[in-house]
Structure 1
Amino acid sequence: MHTIWKGSISFGLVNIPIKLHAATENKDISLRTLHKECHSPIKYEKICPVCEKPVGKEDIVRAFEYTKGRFVVLEDEDLEKLKQENEARAVEIIDFVKIDQIDPIYFDRSYYISPNDGGSKAYSLLRKALEDSGKVGLAKIVIRAKEQMAVVRVYQNTLLMETIHYPDEVRPAVDVPNIPSGDQVTDKETATAIMLIDQLTTDFQPEKYNDDYRTALLELIEAKKNGVAAVTPKEREPAAAKVTDLMAALQASIDKTKPATAPVKKPAVKKRTTRKKVVGEKKEA
């Protein structure tokens, strides 16, 4: 697994040399843009709209736009100096908290942590301490010139670091428009909705979920490569008709998701056998 960062984790006076490895990967399919006429890849050039000419890398500077059309130019030397002053190669755990106190909206990216040379024992100590305490470490780290908050926790016997957003990076929920101010549903509607949730509740098995769009796109690309003109998409269930009545929609959903039950077999009825009465002829004495 490729190492993307080397440094150390410290908590108190304990220091653990570590490496970071990306825990996830983006499997989006990247499509190129071509000239329709000759199928040549399109180039995107940087052009100054005032001078009306292309500009090279050496002609470009970075700046911050503090108001519309007004900029503060930042020199590369200033940015590099700032980066060096702040980029300490260390993950400093500053607090320990319960993970259920951190809302999932804060989580960003995940990295596996492995011990570097000489760090195995201290790595095992932190892993064991986190497991037994039921806590996670709250830390700070600088990655790619950006200081980030992070959570250090145990995942399948491996230490995992997840970068998290700062509070000012999470937009306030109160700014979301058109949110109903209070509950506008009846007790019956709520009870029926909970019944539907119970019927759809299952254990989380991530392997059963797939990216259907990516699979279909790969099949289309493969078919095009092999010269197949037409590709028949997989049949999808027809979209349900729009139901305006909330209770009707809930009831229809419950009926649709109700587990199939085997037909009840009726107990076999024994046929009564009737003996034929043989009437003999009466003998005369």
Structure 2
Amino acid sequence: MHTMWKGTISFGLVNIPIKLHAATENKDVKLRQLHEECKSPIEYKKRCPVCDKEVSNEEIVKAYEYTKNKFVVLDAEDLENLKKEQEDKSVEILDFVKLEEIDPVYFDKSYFMSPNDGGSKAYGLLRKALNDTGKIGIAKIIIRSKEQLAIVRVFQNTLIMETIHFPDEVRDTADVPNVPEETELSKKEVSTAITLIDQLTAEFDPEKYTDDYRTALLELIDAKRNNEEITTTKQKAAPENVSNLMEALEKSLESTKESKKISPKKKTTAKKSTRKKKSS
């Protein structure tokens, strides 16, 4: 597994050198966008609308828009120093709580934790303590220039760190439109709904659930490929060949002949302008 982060995590005076590895992967089927006419991939370029030109990554700086069209520019060096200053700190477990006290709306991403050199015993100690107490740890960590709240818990004999949102990142439910306060329901309606829930109640088995859309999409792609319903991107036109070059030369000769037919007055003007260029 690819290591995404290295550092230490501590609780009390116990320090554990660890590595983080992504616990999940995105298996979405990525579709490209093509130009319908020639079936070539669409390009997305970074362009400055004021200078009306394409901009390279080296010409781009980061900034914070504090009000409409007003920015505070942040130097790359300042951001790097700030990031390093925070990343150099070890991750300290601040509190231990019960997992059921955290609503799932707070959860974000999951990372497996493995012990780094010399950390196996301390790793095993934290895992054992969490298992025996039924608790999880609350910590803070900097990942990719963002400070995040996280929990540390045991998952199938492995320590896992899951980033969770800060309270101010979870929107207020009062802002959700059209939510009814109370709804008048008959006892029969409620009892029927409860009966239905009881009938559909089962132990959670993740293997039971599959991404049917992704499976169907991949089957469609395979069927089209097997039937040779495929498209090959067209190459850009090659440079003009000799015949095209000859055509261009002949047209140039024609235009030269036409220019010689200009009036004497225009010829004089043309000579004067040529002399000025030579003298400059």
TM bin, normalised by shorter chain, reads 0.7 to 0.9
CA deviations 1:55-96 (Å, max 9, x no partner) are 112221111111111111111121112112212252210100
SS in 2 for 1:66: strand
Match of 2:119? 119
Counterparts of 1:237-248 in structure 2, within 5 Å, are: none
- 1:198 to 2:198 alignment: yes
CA distance in structure 1 between the partners assigned to 2:125 and 2:58 by the alignment:
50
CA distance in structure 2 between the partners assigned to 1:90 and 1:141 by the alignment:
8
CA distance in structure 1 between the partners assigned to 2:36 and 2:102 by the alignment:
50
Counterparts of 1:178-197 in structure 2, within 5 Å, are: 178-197=178-197
- 1:154 to 2:154 alignment: yes
Counterparts of 1:222-241 in structure 2, within 5 Å, are: 222-227=222-227
SS in 1 for 2:153: strand
CA distance in structure 2 between the partners assigned to 1:212 and 1:87 by the alignment:
41
Compare 12-21 and 42-51 and name the one that shifted more: 42-51
Unpaired segments of 5 or more residues in structure 1? 230-285
Which structure has more RCO (C-alpha within 8 Å, separation ≥ 6)? 2
Counterparts of 1:136-155 in structure 2, within 5 Å, are: 136-155=136-155
Following superposition, the deviation at residue 35 of structure 1 comes to: 2.0
Match of 1:36? 36
Match of 1:25? 25
The number of residue pairs the alignment matches comes to: 229
Following superposition, the deviation at residue 11 of structure 1 comes to: 0.5
CA distance in structure 2 between the partners assigned to 1:60 and 1:14 by the alignment:
43
CA distance in structure 1 between the partners assigned to 2:123 and 2:43 by the alignment:
48
CA distance in structure 2 between the partners assigned to 1:84 and 1:213 by the alignment:
42
Match of 2:79? 79
Q: TM-score, normalised by structure 2?
A: 0.79
Following superposition, the deviation at residue 5 of structure 1 comes to: 1.1
Following superposition, the deviation at residue 119 of structure 1 comes to: 0.8
SS in 2 for 1:179: coil
CA deviations 1:25-78 (Å, max 9, x no partner) are 000011111222222222111111122111112221111111111111111121
Give the helix-richer structure, 1 or 2.
Answer: 2
CA deviations 1:89-129 (Å, max 9, x no partner) are 52210100011111010000001111111111111110010
| Residues 6 and 89 in structure 1, CA contact (< 8 A), matched pair in contact too | no
Following superposition, the deviation at residue 183 of structure 1 comes to: 3.3
Following superposition, the deviation at residue 132 of structure 1 comes to: 0.6
Match of 1:130? 130
CA gap 1:228/1:201 in 2 versus in 1, 3 angstroms: farther
- 1:50 to 2:50 alignment: yes
| Residues 150 and 163 in structure 1, CA contact (< 8 A), matched pair in contact too | yes
| Percent of paired sites with the same residue | 69
Q: TM-score, normalised by structure 1?
A: 0.78
Following superposition, the deviation at residue 184 of structure 1 comes to: 2.0
CA deviations 1:167-224 (Å, max 9, x no partner) are 0000011111111111321222111110111111111111111111100110111111
Unpaired segments of 5 or more residues in structure 2? 230-280
Match of 1:97? 97
The letter for the 2-side match of 1:149 is: L
CA distance in structure 2 between the partners assigned to 1:183 and 1:123 by the alignment:
51
SS in 2 for 1:121: helix
